[in-house]
Structure 1
Amino acid sequence: MESKTIRFVRQGELVSLGNVPPERTLLEVLREDLGCTGTKEGCGEGDCGACTVVIAERDDGALKYRAINSCIRLAHSVDGMALWTVEDLAAADGTLHPAQEAMVRCHGSQCGFCTPGFVMSLFGMYQNHVCRGEAVTRELAQEELSGNLCRCTGYRPILDAAQQMARLPAARVDERAILAQLDQAAALRAQAPASGAYLAPTSLAELLALRAANPRAQIVAGCTDVGLWVTKLHMQFAQVLDVTGVRELRRVETYDRHLAIGAAVTLTDAFEALVAQWPQLKTFANRFAGLPVRNSGTLGGNVANGSPIGDSMPLLIALGAHVVLLSARGHRDMPLEQFYTGYRKNVLAQDEVVGWIKVPTTPHPGPLPQAGEGAFVRAYKISKRYDDDISAICLVISMRIENGVVQNVGIGAGGVAATPARAVQAEAALRGRAWTLEAAQQAAAALRSEFQPISDMRASAAYRAEVLGNLLQRFWLESQGVQQINLENFRVEEASLP
């Protein structure tokens, strides 16, 4: 089946590529077809960041920049976007971009293999912050470089480089020219029929019609999971249906009592909306993979994938989220936990897609019930590595207390069953009871016995069961004002010896 032509803007030109198989990755196209060997292949699974490139697309009349992993991103997904690789940053006369020059001055490169990926993440940071007059703090640099790994330098000089960029002579992107070229690419794209091996609808009606006509097409969004099927399992797809261009599903809409997050909203933007409602979720959101993964992956994709160790589902379940399924026949609305039927299995019909995730909102939520009253949310992620790692256990607790009594509670758990799950027994042990140590201990015991986790490379079954209960007791301790058990409150300078 013929694939449509891919068009993207690079180095001031509109690049056109034809006959690209639907499962071919962006990294393969860059290195093997275009000769851009500065972009490196490290892990092939979006974990190390050596393959990082930056893409941009029109957003309210300007360009929105995102650093992404090219190793697991399908090449067709950048159709109609602007693209930068490490070869594109230096000026025509050889003058290095501030992202490159800062790395040189701060001695941020040693063996050099990871350097192109770091430079591209720094370039994304430069465009999104420095060019807008925003300071790059140490904290911001650590957050936005979390998806890039280095085994040589120890990170300090790279973090120094991130903060040095703003002090160097400015380098500007000609956004007006790029926007004009993107408009040209969009016009050419609109002329192409919505058929072939890679289907990329731009409206909801078009998506539902294509899904009904092509029920066996592999649905993709950011490809942070499907990309692994390509790179690790060597899977091939006769036809791909990409939902990320559907404008109705790219929005976050705020209503009186809930947020409606479209299935094509990136994890970065989805978590931004959730953190705006619950600021205490910021650390949890930052620990959901590295920034390049969050910049590609979508909340709808994470939900539809249904991995039992996916972090967004325990959070959404605890918050009482619903998922809306769409087809040309109509829509279905159900609590998220009812969407799953088994390991990576769900109730989606062949002609359906995930449309929206509806998340109930709570007025003025607080971080923890230290005052004994109000609505509170707390999310815990247990993993072997603090940054950019998959959870062994994830537990999220949402609680509302009135007059010292637990009026409502939602507990979502990951890593403990074949699907993301609601802890029904632990919730029942708390609902309607005074929020006391005894109640917390009894709920912890119920939580330990409610699931039968397995042992695997990340944790043993016994460890998972024990830690589940411990996390609920930790929630109790934190509600009583204990802070030193929480890494969010840990500061290196406070722990250093005199």
Structure 2
Amino acid sequence: MIQFLLNGELRCERQLDPNVTVLNYLREHVAKPGTKEGCGSGDCGACTVVIGELEGERIRYRTLNSCLTFVSSLHGKQLITVEDLRYQGKLHDVQQAMVDCHGSQCGFCTPGFVMSLFALQKNRAASGSDGYDKGQTLEALAGNLCRCTGYRPIIDAAEQACCNRQPDQFDAAEADTVAKLKAIAPRETAELNSGDKRCLLPLTVADLADIYTANPQARLLAGGTDLALEVTQFHRELPVMIYVGHVAEMKRIEVKPDVIEIGAATPLSDCYGVLSREYPDFGELLHRFASLQIRNQGTLGGNIGNASPIGDAPPLLIALGASIVLRKGNQTRTLPLDEFFIDYKVTARQEGEFIERIIVPRAKAYQAFRAYKVSKRLDDDISAVCAAINLTVTDGVVRDARIAFGGMAGIPKRATACEQSLIGAAWYPGCIERACEALAEDFTPLSDFRASKEYRLLTAQNLLRRFFLELQSPEVETRVTAYV
């Protein structure tokens, strides 16, 4: 059985197909059709809902794409939809702002925008930052697409909603909601079972290891932003899933003297703070990692484990020399990340083994790290080429080099010939040109609808040249020495 709050109403589900998404649950099981299906793949934001989770004595609100969220992941949480905002016959501030600023035309995308604005307003107030911040607004809305309004009136609505915020029914009910969430907080392994399909929800990494050993055919579910596509896009059924989102050890971030350890089930939005402080370019790339809804849901371990050749995190982690801790039963092993990827969608993970945590070395003196993402859109798009370059240069000589690319091969891959051409070389334009030539030995890219093979190779070479030019500027030197 799973339990969650639908707004303030306790819902207990005992026999429900775990393949049911939150979107379909709302529309088909509880008669809440305000949440719309636009794309079914997490690209348009029309299905955006808000999840409330306990964070100490407060509630943290996150936007999610309900089309990519399996209902089992609601266990112990609060689900808020657009129907819940209107109260006692009066529109919520964010809804009224959309009306006042003419932010809706056809209206299909409007519920998703309203929920993104609601979460933005709530989180700014919780951080003590009442008022309007255009950068945060653009980030909050980057995952919501509209074909009608041109966005300006929606941004105007965001400014009105954030600047004229009034206490609402969620503020008044917060203490009661906190008490209800504490009462339904998971205390043991739960299960959602429909007879022929089931989802298990362990609470500890030891329980997860035991359950996965007993069910090696099960699919691990963390954020589900990739796994859910098998159901929504390919119309497959997943007989057994294991949801890892309640395993606290796998959502922990520890900063140690030499490394940062990040639990594999940590949402990408929670990784941002520590990674951006250590490696500013990693933070910049995370801002361009899909949308806020996806970052709130997708995990760092999931982005590695799905072994996509165009996943944005693996090239950066490989260039930084990261490793992963794999667990099977009571046994663990540590593997350099660049040895994890073997072939397209083939990894070194054994049956019944899962990624427990990611170990990222901390920045060192004289280390220059840059990350570049090339895509057709600035926001909410997949890379054509993703480059991560990590060099140590002292006394005008390249002492160490780790360079990795996504989108250039069937796996995220190091550019070993390029690295060797640089190590020990004098740091001047000629060495970069030799490194660019070596890239043609490292990669034979494919052509697809995102980019041709010629474009990919030339882009990769030009990113190396850009890296060299950036390191010559005083601004870049300041950023590099800040790592010391």
Amino acid at match of 1:110: Q
Corresponding residue to 2:106 among 108, 111, 116: 111
Q: Secondary structure at the match of 1:71?
A: helix
* Residue-by-residue CA offset, 1:466-497 (whole Å, 9 max, x unaligned): 111111111112223399xxxxxxxxxxxxxx
1:309–1:392 Cα contact (<8 Å) kept:
yes
* 1:310 has 2:324 as partner: no
Corresponding residue to 1:425 among 411, 414, 417: 417
**How far is 1:401 from its partner?**
1.5
* 1:435 has 2:427 as partner: yes
Root-mean-square deviation (Å): 1.7
- Aligned counterpart, 2:444: 452
1:130–1:136 Cα contact (<8 Å) kept:
no
2:53–2:61 Cα contact (<8 Å) kept:
yes
* 1:331 has 2:332 as partner: yes
* 1:128 has 2:123 as partner: yes
* Residue-by-residue CA offset, 1:209-242 (whole Å, 9 max, x unaligned): 1011111111111000001111011111111111
Distance 1:191 1:284 in 2: 36
**How far is 1:299 from its partner?**
0.4
| Shift in alpha-carbon separation, 1:462–1:193, aligned structure 2, 3 A | closer
1:290–1:387 Cα contact (<8 Å) kept:
yes
2:306–2:345 Cα contact (<8 Å) kept:
yes
In structure 2, list runs of 5 or more residues that go unmatched.
476-484
Equivalent runs, 1:246-285 vs 2, <5 Å: 246-285=247-286
% identical equivalent positions: 45
- Aligned counterpart, 2:200: 199
2:190–2:200 Cα contact (<8 Å) kept:
no
Amino acid at match of 1:97: H
Corresponding residue to 1:403 among 395, 399, 405: 395
- Aligned counterpart, 1:177: 176
Equivalent runs, 1:17-416 vs 2, <5 Å: 17-91=13-87, 93-134=88-129, 135-172=131-168, 173=170, 174-186=173-185, 190=188, 197-363=198-364, 374-416=366-408
Amino acid at match of 1:270: C
Q: Secondary structure at the match of 1:439?
A: helix
TM-score, normalised with respect to structure 2: 0.93
2:189–2:202 Cα contact (<8 Å) kept:
no
**How far is 1:375 from its partner?**
1.7
* Residue-by-residue CA offset, 1:9-45 (whole Å, 9 max, x unaligned): 1232212233211211111101111111110000000
* Residue-by-residue CA offset, 1:354-379 (whole Å, 9 max, x unaligned): 00110001157xxxxxxxxx222111
**How far is 1:78 from its partner?**
0.9
Distance 2:189 2:383 in 1: 44
2:40–2:67 Cα contact (<8 Å) kept:
yes
1:44–1:71 Cα contact (<8 Å) kept:
yes
* Residue-by-residue CA offset, 1:118-161 (whole Å, 9 max, x unaligned): 11011111111134331431111111211111111111111122
TM-score, normalised with respect to structure 1: 0.91
**How far is 1:408 from its partner?**
1.6
2:121–2:165 Cα contact (<8 Å) kept:
no
| Shift in alpha-carbon separation, 1:348–1:280, aligned structure 2, 3 A | closer
Q: Secondary structure at the match of 2:286?
A: helix
Amino acid at match of 2:363: T
| Shift in alpha-carbon separation, 1:14–1:384, aligned structure 2, 3 A | same
Amino acid at match of 2:420: A
Amino acid at match of 1:47: D
Runs of 4+ in 1 over 4 A off after TM superposition: 191-196
**How far is 1:167 from its partner?**
2.8
**How far is 1:6 from its partner?**
2.9
- Aligned counterpart, 1:490: none
* Residue-by-residue CA offset, 1:176-217 (whole Å, 9 max, x unaligned): 211111122226x63857988111101011000101111111
* Residue-by-residue CA offset, 1:445-479 (whole Å, 9 max, x unaligned): 11233101111111111111111111111111222
1:203–1:246 Cα contact (<8 Å) kept:
yes
In structure 1, list runs of 5 or more residues that go unmatched.
365-373, 484-498
Amino acid at match of 2:422: L
Amino acid at match of 1:190: E
Corresponding residue to 2:473 among 478, 481, 496: 481
Distance 2:162 2:451 in 1: 43
Distance 2:93 2:283 in 1: 29
